[in-house]
Amino acid sequence: MSAATTAHLSRPAPAVGRAPIGASRAYAFLLFLGGLVGLAASAVLTFDKLRILENPSYVPGCNLNPVISCGSVMRTEQAEVFGFPNPLLGLAAFGALAAIGAGLLSGAAYRRWFWLGLHAGTALGVVFVHWLVDQALYDIGALCPYCMVVWATVVALFWYTTLHNLSTGVIPVGPRLRVVVREAARYHWALPVLWAAVIALLVLNRFWYYWSTLL
C-alpha cells in the first residue's frame, strides 16, 4: 500500500452512523485484484477437478512431484467438504470480492452492515483456509500450488479488511486501541509477511524429509 493509503488508515476513526462508507483506492484495488487472482486459481482447480471426474487417470499439470501434487489433494474428502468441489466456493466468493472491489474503485460506498458482513466472510474464509492448511500438511501429505495461492489471497484480504473496518470506525475502538490500529496501519505489511513466514516454516518442516533429498 502507498503512503497515502497508510495515512488514510492512520486517521482517527470517523463516527459511523447510517451514511455509506467508502474505501481507499489501494484497498479497493486489493479487493479487486485479490478477487481476480482467487477467481483464476479457483477456475483452474474447477477445470482440473472436472477432468478428474471425467477421467480418474487424468494427471493435472501441477503434479510436479510427490509433495507438490494437485491430483493427490483433489481426490481427497477434504476437497469436497460441503458435498461439492471446494473450488466452486472460490468461484462464487472471489467473484463477489472482485465485483465489490470494482464498485469501490468506481466510487461506491457501502453501509456498515455490508462491511461487517464482508469482514465476517473473510474471517470464515481464513478459518476454512487454515483448516485446509492443517489437512494438507498433516493428513493428506501433499500440496496444491493453486490452493496455496488461495491461502495467501484470503489471508491478505482478511487482514486488510480488518484494518479498513477498524480505521473507518465500522468496528468502534477506544482511544488506546486506536493508537494500536494506527501503528498497525503504518506497518500494515508486517503481519501478512510474518503470517506467510510461519506457514512457509510449517511446510518446510513437514516435508523436510523430501526437500533434504534434493540438497
pLDDT in tens, 4-59: 444 444 444 444 557 899 999 999 999 999 999 999 999 999 999 999 999 999 99
The pLDDT value recorded for residue 209 is 86
Does the structure show a pLDDT above 60 at 107? yes
**Cα angle vertex 144, ends 48, 138, to 5°?**
130
Q: What is the mean pLDDT of residues 127-137?
A: 97
Is the pLDDT confidence value at 213 over 50? yes
pLDDT of residue 17: 55
CA 68 – CA 44 distance, rounded (Å): 16
Residues 129 and 148: their CA atoms lie apart, in Å, by 9
pLDDT at 204 over 90: yes
Instruction: Using the structure block, give the residue that is written with the C-alpha cell 473507518.
Output: 168
User: What distance in Å separates the CA atoms of residue 165 and residue 4, rounded to the nearest whole number?
Assistant: 17
CA distance 165 to 178: 12
- Residue 12: what pLDDT? 41
Dist CA 144 CA 203 (whole Å): 12
For domain 19-208, the CATH class is mainly alpha
Element (H, E) at 170: none
The Cα–Cα gap between 95 and 172 comes to 29
Element (H, E) at 193: helix 190-206
According to the model, what pLDDT value does residue 212 have?
Answer: 81
Q: What is the pLDDT of residues 137-195, one digit of tens each?
A: 999 999 999 999 999 999 999 999 999 999 999 999 998 899 999 999 999 999 999 99
Three-state secondary-structure class, residue 110? strand
pTM for the whole structure: 0.89
Residue 211 has what pLDDT? 78
Which DSSP string corresponds to 14-78?
PP-SSS-B---HHHHHHHHHHHHHHHHHHHHHHHHHHHHHH-TT---TT--SSSB-HHHHHTSGG
Please report how many Cα atoms fall inside a 13 Å half-sphere around the Cα of residue 208, on the Cβ side.
6
Give 110's strand partners. Answer: 21
Name the pLDDT band for 215 (thresholds 50, 70, 90). low
Annotated domain spans of the chain: 19-208
∠84-39-52 over CA atoms, to 5°? 45
Cα–Cα nearest to 68, from 140, 125, 139: 140
Q: Which helix (H) or strand (E) holds 156?
A: helix 145-167
